[in-house]
Amino acid sequence: MFEAQICSCNMEKVSKYGITNYFAYMMYDQAKIKEAIFEENLSGIKDSLELEKLIENPKKFLEILKDEILDDEVYVFTPKGDIKVLPKNSTAIDFAYNIHDKIGNHIKRCIINSVPMPFITKLKNGDIVEIETGEKETNFQEEWLKEVKTAKAKTRMVKILNTNKKDIIKEKVFKIIATDRKNLALEVTDIFTKNKINIENLEANVIEKSANIKVTIQAKTNDNLESIVERLENIKDVKAVRIDI
């Protein structure tokens, strides 16, 4: 493993005399600086590779990578005065993920220069950015992916968005045909209750001792509804069960 750095004259000046170098030398010795820079570069490459797996279009991946590597930088501060260096036009979301994954995943409120601002606000040099978090993961909007700049933020957001898509709630209707008897409807509802699924509506029509029961629920797409069907079919006197979407 080796590291190669190709710099323009301006990049070399920023590296030697820029603000990040100044703060780094105030806080760390040479060995720790080199170690920190190496680990940060390695982390960036890892995040970019993870993003490549999530983005099918190779041109799009290269465009994102080029933006992060070649764009100008923006220097912003935490409320404690720690400096963070991000690609130009980075958002508060990029800032949050630059601090820690948990901060980015649980953004609740963004405060820039003591003023509450939207998560996708573009940061400017000298901004003081404060991120407040909550217990629940942030409900990211898919269009925000166009606004964030860093591969790390995009990667984490895509993972959360993909997870949320699996949890989309849809209406499902169970239709049950059975021989009518006492407590039949109670046994049907008991199965849903034990599976912690709320019943939105239940209709029962009885014609000549034949019962047609319709149960409407709100279910997540990843709920195991097949097991509920099996349990309903095992109820005494139930003849058929089917699910309508």
Tell me the pLDDT tens digit for each residue of 161-194: 887 766 666 778 899 999 998 888 889 999 888 8
Residue 67 pLDDT = 56
Residue 121 CB neighbour total at 10 angstroms = 19
Token pair of 239 as six digits: 């003849």
The whole-number pLDDT of residue 64 equals: 62
Closest CA to 180 of 121, 100, 236, 118: 236
What b/e readout covers 27-49, taking b as 16+ CB neighbours within 10 angstroms?
eeeeeeeeeeeeeeeeebeebbe
Mean pLDDT of the chain: 79
Positions of CATH 3.10.20.30 in the chain: 9-165
What is the rounded (10 degree) CA torsion for 136, 141, 146, 148?
A: -20
Listed as ranges, residues in the chain with pLDDT below 50 are 22-28, 38, 42, 70
Q: Where does CATH 3.30.70.260 sit in the chain?
A: 169-244
Angle at 237 between CA 234 and CA 241, to 5 degrees: 60
Q: What is the pLDDT at residue 14?
A: 62
Contact call for residues 104 and 97 (beta carbons, < 8 A): yes
- Report whether CATH 3.30.70.260 matches the domain 169-244: yes
* CATH code linked to domain 9-165: 3.10.20.30
